[in-house]
Amino acid sequence: MKTTLLLIGLIFATQPTLAVDGARLVGVWKLFSYQTEFQDGRPKRALFGEHPSGYLILTKEGRQMAVIEGERRKPPSTDADRADLLKTLIAYSGKYHVEGTKFVTAVDAAWNPAWDGTDQVRSYEIAGDRLTVTSMWQPSPNIPGSPITRGILVFDRVK
């Protein structure tokens, strides 16, 4: 009986912490770095360059928006240039909710139509004003052959 009460107490004691952590996600975050990790063991790479740009916005109402661009993107002059720009872009939006150390976005708009209607799961860790986000393993639409990858993104809180 004491063990059961102790477990129940621990469960309730952790609930405010989870709510506080979820509340700490709310805000505007500027991209600092983006590494792509390959499930097959290939070395991590900065496929969007050493200085990609972008933002992650999470509202208190539960709306998430993200735009990530590779460095040195140039205005297109041909249809091939326009198609190549998609290889250095990630953009999506949707309603999100927090589950422990993850946030799950129900995508309702995306640069890649295959993401529409999907749940995108991201693990996160906050240290001060720095947010590290790790995406779920999935086929990469931006790399030929669509290898299974995940992104490791680091953001700084915008003040």
* Mean pLDDT by groups of 10 residues along the chain of 159 residues: 45 42 91 97 94 97 97 94 92 97 97 95 97 96 91 95
Q: Is the pTM of this model over 0.85?
A: no
In 91-112, which positions are buried (b, 16+ CB within 10 angstroms) versus exposed (e)? Answer: ebbbebebeeeebbbebeebee
Q: In the prediction, which pLDDT does 14 show?
A: 40
Q: In the prediction, which pLDDT does 21 show?
A: 64
DSSP lists the bridge partners of residue 122 as: 103, 135
Q: In the prediction, which pLDDT does 143 show?
A: 87
Q: In the prediction, which pLDDT does 19 show?
A: 47
Q: Are strands 63-69 and 89-99 parallel, antiparallel or unpaired?
A: antiparallel
Domain that holds residue 111: 2-157
Number of compact structural domains in the chain: 1
Q: Any idea what the CATH number is for the domain that residue 106 is in?
A: 2.40.128.490
